[in-house]
A and B are shown apart, each in its own frame.
Chain A
Amino acid sequence: DSGVTQTPKHLITATGQRVTLRCSPRSGDLSVYWYQQSLDQGLQFLIQYYNGEERAKGNILERFSAQQFPDLHSELNLSSLELGDSALYFCASSVGPANSPLHFGNGTRLTVT
């Protein structure tokens, strides 16, 4: 158990809809990362927050947004969903803002129909 909690585990929704994925980092970790993993694909970095502030941004679509709250949990919002957004979304946390090992949650599997 990594200590990182992601909910929900599975999400099935229709195109055009909006969903919110939730992540609680490991106790003591201040950084939260979001990654997207499509079938047979690697881990694509979306965004990182450190202690409530956006730290780094990847190729995150404008339809996607995220935030980290004062209690350090994070949410990833995906809107106007398309079939191609179907993927496994991982949250990871680390102690520091950089160069620290990442601890991944179990992921949220999103299926857009």
Chain B
Amino acid sequence: GQQVMQIPQYQHVQEGEDFTTYCNSSTTLSNIQWYKQRPGGHPVFLIQLVKSGEVKKQKRLTFQFGEAKKNSSLHITATQTTDVGTYFCAAPNAGGTSYGKLTFGQGTILTVHP
């Protein structure tokens, strides 16, 4: 089935430093989604990338989808303590009996030290 590998598993940064998490797939993805889960909370949808080479920005967050549509990244500029949480990428199955199943990466746990 569809698998997405996400690295790093943990990232500790000082407030103001940048942060990047990467998501990789061995197969071409139709799209990729990113979610954030605050400690004690539920995953919240951030963005969906569909096009090859697509780049989207949300304030200090920049999302990229690779040209081959096999990898993606989330970059946060000048982290703040409010950025703390786990960031997940998620990709759908391409087809077959599990079409629509959304597989999540293992997530990157971000800690920001003030």
Task: Tell me, in angstroms, the Cα distance from A76 to B37 when the chains sit together.
Answer: 22
Residues A104 and B44 in contact in the complex (CB < 8 Å), given A42-B107, A98-B92: yes
B42 touches A45 (CB 8 A): no
User: By DSSP majority rule, is chain A's interface helix, strand, loop, or mixed?
Assistant: strand
Number of interface residues of B (CB under 8 A): 25
Instruction: Across the A-B interface, give the 10 residue pairs with the lowest CB-CB distance, nearest first.
Output: A98-B100, A56-B101, A43-B104, A104-B42, A101-B45, A56-B98, A42-B106, A104-B43, A97-B100, A42-B107
Residues of A with Cβ closer than 8 Å to B? 2, 31, 33, 35, 42-43, 45, 48, 50, 55-58, 90, 92, 97-99, 101-107
B residues with CB within 8 A of A: 30-31, 33, 35, 41-45, 48, 88, 90, 92-93, 97-107
